Amino acid sequence: MEIRSVGVIGAGQMGNGIAHVFAQSGYDVLLTDISEEALEKAMALIARNLERQVSRGKTTEAEMALALGRIRTTGVLADLGACDLVIEAATEREAVKVKLFEELRPHLRPETILTSNTSSISITRLAAGTERPERFMGFHFMNPVPVMQLVELIRGIQTSEETYQTLLKVVATLGKTAASAEDFPAFIVNRILIPMINEAVYALYEGVGNVRSIDQSMKLGANHPMGPLELADFIGLDTCLSIMNVLHEGLADTKYRPCPLLVKYVEAGWLGRKVKRGFYDYRGEEPVPTR
C-alpha cells in the first residue's frame, strides 16, 4: 500500500512535530485535537520551526510554503477516517488512546493503517480493540521530532509483515532511521532511558548530590548532551512517571519502582518545562535548580 495522506491525533508536543516532518516530506496531513486553541498553537509552532530551518539553510522559503500548505486541521476526529495512515499522538494514558481508537473505528477505510506514538503501552493490547490488529503498529517518534533521527517500529503479536514493511518505507521517506522493537513495556529507548532518569531522581532524593551536581556529573563525566534531571523536565515528569509505572506493573520487578520524589513532583504539578517548573524553575531568564 502506498501512503499519501496522514492523519495525526493530538496537536501537542509530539503531534505537531509529526505533522511537520510528514508535510515536509510531501505527505498531505490532517491534524486533529479537541482544542481549537491547541491546533492554532501547533500551526504557529510548525511555522516558526520551519522558519528556523530556512534561516539555517536547511530548507527554502518555497519549500516551507509548500509544507505548510499540506497541513490541514480539524476538530472532528471522524475526518481522519479517509487517511491512508493514522498516527495517534495523544496523552500517554491507555484509556484515552483506547477511547480515541473506538471513536475512530466506524469511520476508517478497510485499508487504513492505524498506529500509536505511545512510548511505553502494549501495542498488542491497543491493537486488540481496533478490529484491525494486523494493520496496527507502534510508531514511536523521538522528541523533538524534526531533529531526532530515530523512529521505533513496534509490532504487536498480530501485526502483518505488509504493515511493517509499509511503515519501514515511510520512515525512509522521512529521512529517518527505523529501529525495530519487540512489544515489551517501554520498548528499547525508554526501557533504558527512563530507569536511568529515575535513578538520578533517587540520587537526588537520597542526597547523593543536588540537581546541578547530578546533571553536571552526567554531562561532563559521561558526555551526555543533557543531564538526566534536565532531560526529565524536557520530557515531562508526568510522562516519566507514567513510563516507570508501565515498567513496574508490566515487568513486576522492584528495580522499576518509581522514586517517591518523582511522584511528589508530579503530585505538586511540577511537571517540567511545559509548566515552567520541575527539577528546575524556568520562570526567570536562566533555569534555577529547585533542590
- The pLDDT value recorded for residue 1 is 78
CATH number of domain containing 274: 1.10.1040.10
Considering the domain architecture, whether residues 197 and 177 belong to the same structural domain is answered as: no
Residues classed as catalytic: 119, 140, 152, 190
Q: Averaged over 42-65, what is the pLDDT?
A: 96
Considering the domain architecture, whether residues 41 and 167 belong to the same structural domain is answered as: yes
Instruction: Using alpha carbons, select from 255, 120, 240 the residue that is nearest to residue 188.
Output: 120
**Residue corresponding to grid cell 515511510:** 170
Output the nine-digit C-alpha cell for 172: 525512509
Q: Averaged over 1-30, what is the pLDDT?
A: 96
Considering the domain architecture, whether residues 88 and 118 belong to the same structural domain is answered as: yes
> Residues 186, 121: contact at Cβ < 8 Å?
no
Per DSSP, the three-state class of 288 is strand
Peptide bond into 195 cis (omega under 30): no
Task: For residue 72, give its domain range.
Answer: 5-182
Output the nine-digit C-alpha cell for 289: 535548580
Which of 182, 201, 236 is the C-terminal boundary of a domain? 182
- Residue-wise pLDDT for 96-105, tens only, equals 999 999 999 9
Per DSSP, the three-state class of 258 is coil
- On the question of pLDDT at 208 being above 90, the answer is yes
Tally the domains of the chain.
2
Considering the domain architecture, whether residues 164 and 194 belong to the same structural domain is answered as: no
Considering the domain architecture, whether residues 243 and 150 belong to the same structural domain is answered as: no
Considering the domain architecture, whether residues 99 and 226 belong to the same structural domain is answered as: no
Share of the chain above pLDDT 70, in %: 100
Which of 141, 166, 182 is the C-terminal boundary of a domain? 182
Binding-site entries: 10-15, 33, 92, 97, 119, 143, 274
Considering the domain architecture, whether residues 199 and 144 belong to the same structural domain is answered as: no
Could you tell me which residues come within 8 angstroms of residue 31 by beta carbon, excluding any fewer than 6 positions away?
A: 7, 8, 11, 15, 16, 19, 39, 42, 43, 71, 72, 73, 74
- The pLDDT value recorded for residue 91 is 87
CATH number of domain containing 142: 3.40.50.720
Considering the domain architecture, whether residues 133 and 22 belong to the same structural domain is answered as: yes
Q: How many CA atoms lie within 13 A of 115 on its CB side?
A: 30
Binding-site entries for NAD(+): 10-15, 33, 92, 97, 119, 143, 274
